[in-house]
Structure 1
Amino acid sequence: METNQQNLFSGEDEATWKRRWKMMYASVAGYAMDGLDMLILSFVMTAIIKEFGLSFVDAGWIATYTLIGAVIGGYLFGIMADYVGRVKVFSLTILLFSVFTGLCAFANSVTELNIYRFLSGLGLGGEFGIGMTLVAETWPAAKRARATAGVAIGWQLGAVLAAVLSALVVPQFGWRGLFAIGVLPALFAAWSRRGIPEPDIWMNRKLLKESIKKKMANGEVLTETEKEVWSQANKFPLMQLFAGSRKTVTTFALTVMTSVQNFGYYGIMIWLPTILMQKHNLTLNKTTTWMVATVIGMVIGIYLFGQFADKVGRKPAYITFYICSAAAVWIYSLLNDPISLLIGGAVLGFFCNGMMAGYGALLSEHYTTDARSTAQNFIFNSGRAVGGFAPVVIGMLAAKYTLNGALVVLAFVYLLAAVNVFFLVQETKDVKLD
């Protein structure tokens, strides 16, 4: 039985590229809203502590509830996107975190605020992997890492937007005003998805499964290919990540990679400003300048990593950047001169966060269409869960040794990640998605 095939993203004509770019813009906007929503909290935490009379522990739980929601949402919505469609669930996640971000402005107690942050976190966690999947499934294999690099830059844009909105809104309207205004760009991100079709590969898989189901209902004999498709389609998506020893090892190795990525990011971005102020006696303004330089380094690193991974392959790119990240963190722990610290911060951002560019492509290439969104969200959000402990672990190491000593430990973590990639991760450059 023949099925009608969707063919909207496989050509090289102008109309096809317009659709690809629209998919890219929508995914970038979505991930930018992730960054905006997460960073808004950091800019208003002091005001929230003052209004509700919170301890630092109570305030920390506000961020923790957001993170817990993100991990759970990543798992749930990733699976939903494999079943009912990427674009539908993608829009749902954006609307979810925009609505509950807005409701934070009306919270009458810290308990109410925690509930809203948890529910907004559900949408945050679901958005990342689905956006990466959409771009990976619609852009050519030769440009896949570069395309997902564009999505990764979205987070940095959201962080910048959070800083700008905080400076403009908080002095006039307070922390509640910032949450209320924060709804608008999130709603814009949801609006940007209008008219976007599902990727060809997901839609054609859906049509094939419907065709097979009709053949079975009519008592027709299935081909071997159809039997294989039907068997695969009926497996729970999450179980496909552990289907056999090879796939299980791959899933483990990729989860190690995303854990190191998130651990390094949160560890560096949370603690280095403290190092700059305590050890090097820099003012808050100078520390902010360091943060800006670091973010600029991150954006450049993400862009160039995508180019690098498409040219030389995923494994060489990750191994190179892990080794360079280890060296950069170790060297940074030895710096003292303010200018060196500024340049070193940009180099840190370049290597340590530049690798964000490759995960959308790398994770997509190891799993089939029936489980691709599940894999993206499960693996990355598992890494986010591990990374959430970075500030605590590095704080404990700093208490026993020094903050600089903790950074040296982080350098060894990057080296172990390089070994993990070398031995356990297969090369997938230019692979055709199935």
Structure 2
Amino acid sequence: MATITERLGNLPLGRFHWRLLAIVGLGWAFDAMDTGIISFVLPKLIAAWGLSTAQVGAIGSLGLVGMAIGAMLGGTVADYVGRKKVFAATLLIYSLGTGACGLAWDYQSLLFFRFLVGFGLGGQLPVAITLMSEYSPTIYRGRMIVLLESAWAFGWLAASVISYVLIPKHGWQIAFYIGALPALYVFYLWRVVPESAMFLMKKGRIEEAHALVASVERELGVPQGDKPTPEEAAGATAAAPFSVYQLFRPLYLKRTVCLWILWFCIVFSYYGIFLWLPTLLVKAGHDMVKSFEFVLWMTVAQIPGYFTAAALVDKIGRKATMALFLSGCAFTAYMFGNAASAAQIYLWGCLMSFFNLGAWGILYTYTPELYPTEARSTGVGWAAGFGRIGGIAAPLVVAAILTGPDKIPVVFMMFTAVLVIAALNMLILGDETKQETLH
């Protein structure tokens, strides 16, 4: 007799999965939109408030402090109270926080609101990816998670369009007000998103888990599985509560170290590059509208990056795909830092974006596969939280290096080195998890 986990893993890919992907993916896109808006607002704030380079770096870093705390706390809480509750609560927090940024009256108030936004954003991502992983069929799990992560590109694209069209005409506040609208989505999300059946089993809610999986089986037109036996129910609830320190016990130590290095390097490169990108382009001599246009096209290039990663991750595996994308991002970051013309900025910027965001999709696929159900959200949350330390450091490091336009190649040489370290880490410490069943 198949267990709840086996029943979920063996389901054919169908309407239920695509609907869940669309619903969770929309929340993911809102997350990206609220994150992206600040990078486009910063050049305006520099001019309007006379912000120093250090203050600009602090705005980016404080939001990431919130993301680190939110990821660690949100991931841990989701293993106790459920994925759905934390997903909805964090979406509400970051949406309202983004709207409040539009009401900021000075630098200090903006810092406070950016912390709230970061807290909500950081808490949502590990929970969303855990929920989607636990419902994806085993043979398609990598593809589904990378496609979920691809929603980030569409959210960032929305932020680019909003900023490109509205900020020059209506001021920077309008972008933040629009970023508050996802708060309305929480009512629909709460009604239609199911709780994780694996989570319910681990909490001893056997009847609910069985009924939930049975409803999915009926929708997909497959034979309904049997109700869990008392033995299966006892086995599902036998695990002791998982504590954070267990991530460093021998069973998980290598996995945790590998993931924390990966997360640190990828987050460092992403936030260091993309939060600063419009400002870097302005410093290189391009006007603000032109810099928005560059970033818009680089954002579009993320989409085929995700789809390429989705096509490869279940075929050649997590390790090979991740190493390929990180190496590609390292090379293109170096070339972008030395670009001498608009055409070169477009070419290498788009390729850098292609590889960087493809690597993100693989990272979100890989991380939840390394931990069991009772620890999954905690493991993802703490890896993401540690990664945010890289995001906190990156804007400050860039600000320290960036004393003039001639320092831009040095900045991107640094990103190249960080990405090479990440690729080597994956090849040396990473375990292959392609098509392994979640437990």
Provide TM-score, normalisation by structure 1.
0.84
Partners of 1:293 and 1:343 within 8 A in 2:
no
Q: What is the Cα deviation at residue 132 of structure 1?
A: 0.9
1:156 correspondence with 2:162:
no
Q: Alpha carbons of 1:119 and 1:416: their partners in 2 closer, same or farther (altered >3 Å)?
A: closer
In the alignment, the residues of structure 1 paired with residue 126 and residue 63 of structure 2 have an alpha-carbon distance, to the nearest angstrom, of 17
What residue is the counterpart of 2:35 in the other structure?
Answer: 38
1:30-66 CA deviation, whole Å, 9 max, x = no partner? 2212222122233334555677676554455444332
Which one of 83, 89, 95 corresponds to residue 98 of structure 1?
95
In the alignment, the residues of structure 1 paired with residue 92 and residue 207 of structure 2 have an alpha-carbon distance, to the nearest angstrom, of 30
1:179 correspondence with 2:179:
no
Paired AA for residue 413 in structure 1? V
Q: Alpha carbons of 1:108 and 1:88: their partners in 2 closer, same or farther (altered >3 Å)?
A: same
Q: What is the Cα deviation at residue 305 of structure 1?
A: 0.9
Answer with 374-383 or 192-201: which moved more.
192-201
What residue is the counterpart of 2:216 in the other structure?
Answer: none
Q: What is the Cα deviation at residue 390 of structure 1?
A: 1.8
SS of residue matched to 1:207: coil
The number of aligned residues is 416
Which one of 331, 338, 347 corresponds to residue 343 of structure 1?
347
Matches within 5 A, 1:267-346: 267-271=272-276, 276=281, 281-346=285-350
SS of residue matched to 1:370: helix
What residue is the counterpart of 2:388 in the other structure?
Answer: 384
Which one of 409, 424, 428 corresponds to residue 423 of structure 1?
428
Paired AA for residue 21 in structure 2? M
Paired AA for residue 426 in structure 1? D
What residue is the counterpart of 1:216 in the other structure?
Answer: none
1:132 correspondence with 2:133:
no
What residue is the counterpart of 1:65 in the other structure?
Answer: 62
Paired AA for residue 350 in structure 1? F
Q: What is the Cα deviation at residue 119 of structure 1?
A: 2.2
In the alignment, the residues of structure 1 paired with residue 33 and residue 328 of structure 2 have an alpha-carbon distance, to the nearest angstrom, of 29
1:352-407 CA deviation, whole Å, 9 max, x = no partner? 22101112221111001111111112112311221232233244445598321332
Answer with 292-301 or 76-85: which moved more.
292-301
1:3-24 CA deviation, whole Å, 9 max, x = no partner? x9699855646xx733222221
In the alignment, the residues of structure 2 paired with residue 10 and residue 314 of structure 1 have an alpha-carbon distance, to the nearest angstrom, of 18
Taking only the aligned residue pairs, the percentage that are identical comes to 30
Which one of 134, 138, 143 corresponds to residue 141 of structure 1?
138
Paired AA for residue 67 in structure 2? A
SS of residue matched to 2:340: coil
Q: What is the Cα deviation at residue 72 of structure 1?
A: 0.8
Provide TM-score, normalisation by structure 2.
0.83
1:239 correspondence with 2:245:
yes
Q: Alpha carbons of 1:429 and 1:320: their partners in 2 closer, same or farther (altered >3 Å)?
A: same
Matches within 5 A, 1:171-250: 174-188=171-185, 191-207=188-204, 226=234, 230=238, 232-236=239-243, 238-242=244-248, 244-250=249-255
Q: What is the Cα deviation at residue 126 of structure 1?
A: 0.6
Which one of 23, 29, 37 corresponds to residue 20 of structure 2?
23
Partners of 2:25 and 2:149 within 8 A in 1:
yes
CA RMSD of aligned residues (A): 3.3
Partners of 1:266 and 1:387 within 8 A in 2:
yes
Q: Alpha carbons of 1:120 and 1:271: their partners in 2 closer, same or farther (altered >3 Å)?
A: closer
Partners of 2:57 and 2:395 within 8 A in 1:
no
In the alignment, the residues of structure 2 paired with residue 206 and residue 309 of structure 1 have an alpha-carbon distance, to the nearest angstrom, of 32
Q: Alpha carbons of 1:351 and 1:224: their partners in 2 closer, same or farther (altered >3 Å)?
A: closer
Q: What is the Cα deviation at residue 235 of structure 1?
A: 2.9
